[in-house]
């Protein structure tokens, strides 16, 4: 049988209304405090009044449906297996070189911030640097995806400023690590799972996100679950008019574990095809990531034993990130 999750009311994953923050300085401080509370206790929260329109979100879901409806051979023509920078089509039932994890059922089309043709990292063949393999079979994928990317990227930078304020850091302290960000957008598709499956393969296996934070749009089908500190799986059901924000490993390290990079997974029990659109705030390859504050309560830290866990000591972001990508995602085999 597939594992089950305790069904809890929306209030279990807090909702942060961003409206006061757009209004004035006092409203901004109130929202920053609500974000700190949510990031410190749950690591996941819904945001409402986030500024993206219903039409923006409807359009990107349609783009995801249109891409994933292409014939498999058209998707495989831009497979992540054809490059070593984890961009393009991530086929279903895939994983990287980690022997201890199971394949994910999800399939995706994934990109990072486009690089200029004369980008030095690109020309030098730096890890995680490559041109996006846009599929010839869908010429309008690039404009449709980039239209959403630009809007959600702007929201991402605005939220980064809110995280700075929530930690009492000077403006642009965290932003300095994003001078050449590797922000990323994925169009995800999850086939339905039958209740009598063993659960060896999930839509998305237990993981934490290896970025600063994620902004997720999910459809009406549900399936995202977050593990709380008691080890129970708590559903993060779809809620109209909201996006989901979750803390990743980088914010965990910056805060020495005060903010929780919560373990989560996806099991699509809905009987329907599920789509979701996560946007990831990834620092620059060369950013030095290290704790910026000291955790006053070091015993109160979520488990850090996953292939996606990052250590709470200084590291060059891209070096750990590229190793992590090789563990979790297939890439071109090099001799």
Ligand X SMILES: O=C(O)CCC(=O)C(=O)O
Q: Which residues of 94-127 are buried (b: 16+ CB within 10 A; e: fewer)?
A: bbbeeeebebbbbbbbbbbeebeeeeebeeeebb
Q: How far is the CB of 296 from ligand X (least distance, A)?
A: 29
Q: Under the criterion CB under 6 A, does residue 264 sit at the interface with ligand X?
A: yes
The residue from 266, 267, 281, 325 that contacts ligand X (CB under 6 A) is: 266
Q: For ligand X, which is the closer residue by CB, 130 or 278? A: 278
Q: Which does 165 bind (CB under 5 to 8 A by kind): Fe ion, ligand X, none?
A: none
Q: Under the criterion CB under 6 A, does residue 183 sit at the interface with ligand X?
A: no
Q: For Fe ion, which is the closer residue by CB, 209 or 249? A: 209
Q: For ligand X, which is the closer residue by CB, 181 or 219? A: 219
Q: How far is the CB of 149 from Fe ion (least distance, A)?
A: 18
The residue from 18, 38, 39, 188 that contacts ligand X (CB under 6 A) is: 188
Q: Under the criterion CB under 5 A, does residue 225 sit at the interface with Fe ion?
A: no
Q: Under the criterion CB under 5 A, does residue 249 sit at the interface with Fe ion?
A: no
- Provide the 3-class DSSP secondary structure of residue 38: helix
The residue from 5, 46, 152, 209 that contacts Fe ion (CB under 5 A) is: 209
Q: Which does 329 bind (CB under 5 to 8 A by kind): Fe ion, ligand X, none?
A: none
Q: With beta carbons less than 8 A apart as the criterion, state whether 279 and 149 touch.
A: yes
Within 131-170, the residues that bind Fe ion by CB under 5 A are: none
> In 42-86, which ranges are continuous DSSP H helix?
54-68, 72-76
Given the rule CB under 6 A, which of 10-18, 35-43, 216-224, 281-289 is the region that contacts ligand X?
216-224
Q: Under the criterion CB under 6 A, does residue 263 sit at the interface with ligand X?
A: no
The residue from 84, 183, 218, 221 that contacts ligand X (CB under 6 A) is: 218
Residue 54, Cβ neighbours under 10 Å: how many? 9
Distance CA 147, CA 152 (A): 9
Q: Is the dihedral of CA 213, 252, 99, 127 positive or negative?
A: positive
Joined together, the tokens standing for residue 202 give: 């999930």
Q: For ligand X, which is the closer residue by CB, 18 or 217? A: 217
The alpha carbon of residue 111 and the mean position of all alpha carbons in its chain are separated, in whole angstroms, by: 12
Of all residues in the shown chain, the one whose CB is closest to ligand X is: 276
Q: Under the criterion CB under 6 A, does residue 204 sit at the interface with ligand X?
A: yes
Q: How far is the CB of 171 from ligand X (least distance, A)?
A: 28
Closest CA to 252 of 206, 194, 197, 313: 313
Q: Provide the pairing of β-strand 184-190 with 224-227.
A: unpaired
Q: Which does 276 bind (CB under 5 to 8 A by kind): Fe ion, ligand X, none?
A: ligand X
Distance CA 48, CA 247 (A): 17
Residue 174, CA atoms < 13 Å, CB-side half-sphere: 28
Q: DSSP letter for 69, please.
A: T
Q: For Fe ion, which is the closer residue by CB, 134 or 233? A: 233
- Provide the 3-class DSSP secondary structure of residue 56: helix
Q: How far is the CB of 29 from Fe ion (least distance, A)?
A: 29
Q: With beta carbons less than 8 A apart as the criterion, state whether 253 and 312 touch.
A: yes
Which residues of this chain interact with Fe ion, rule CB under 5 A? Answer: 209
Which residues of this chain interact with ligand X, rule CB under 6 A? Answer: 186, 188, 204, 209, 216, 218, 224, 264, 266, 276, 278
């Amino acid at each position: 049988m597939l594992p089950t999750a305790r069904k809890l009311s929306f209030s279990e994953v807090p909702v942060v209304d961003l409206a006061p923050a757009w209004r004035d300085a006092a409203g901004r401080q109130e929202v920053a405090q609500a974000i700190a509370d949510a990031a410190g206790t749950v690591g996941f929260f819904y945001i409402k009044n986030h500024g993206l329109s219903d039409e923006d979100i409807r359009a990107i879901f349609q783009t995801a449906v249109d891409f994933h409806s292409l014939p498999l051979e058209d998707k495989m023509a831009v497979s992540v297996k054809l490059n070593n920078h984890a961009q393009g089509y991530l086929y279903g039932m895939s994983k990287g070189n980690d022997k201890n994890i199971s394949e994910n059922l999800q399939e995706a089309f994934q990109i990072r911030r486009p690089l200029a043709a004369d980008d030095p990292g690109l020309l030098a063949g730096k890890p995680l640097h490559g041109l996006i393999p846009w599929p010839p079979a869908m010429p309008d994928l690039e404009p449709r995806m980039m239209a959403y990317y630009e809007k959600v990227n702007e929201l991402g930078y605005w939220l980064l400023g809110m995280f700075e304020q929530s930690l009492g850091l000077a403006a642009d302290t965290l932003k300095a690590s994003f001078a050449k960000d590797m922000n990323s957008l994925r169009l995800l598709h999850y086939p339905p799972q039958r209740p009598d499956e063993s659960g060896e393969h999930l839509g998305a296996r237990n993981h934490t996100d290896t970025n600063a934070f994620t902004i997720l749009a999910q459809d009406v089908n549900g399936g995202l679950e977050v593990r709380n500190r008691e080890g129970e799986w708590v559903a993060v059901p779809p809620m109209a008019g909201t996006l989901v924000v979750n803390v990743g490993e980088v914010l965990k390290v910056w805060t020495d574990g005060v903010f929780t990079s919560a373990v989560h997974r996806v099991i699509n029990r809905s009987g329907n095809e599920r789509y979701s659109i996560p946007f990831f705030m990834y620092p620059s390859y060369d950013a030095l990531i290290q704790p910026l504050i000291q955790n006053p309560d070091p015993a109160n830290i979520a488990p850090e034993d996953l292939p996606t866990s990052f250590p709470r000591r200084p590291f060059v972001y891209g070096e750990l990130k590229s190793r992590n990508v090789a563990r979790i995602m297939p890439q071109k085999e090099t001799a």
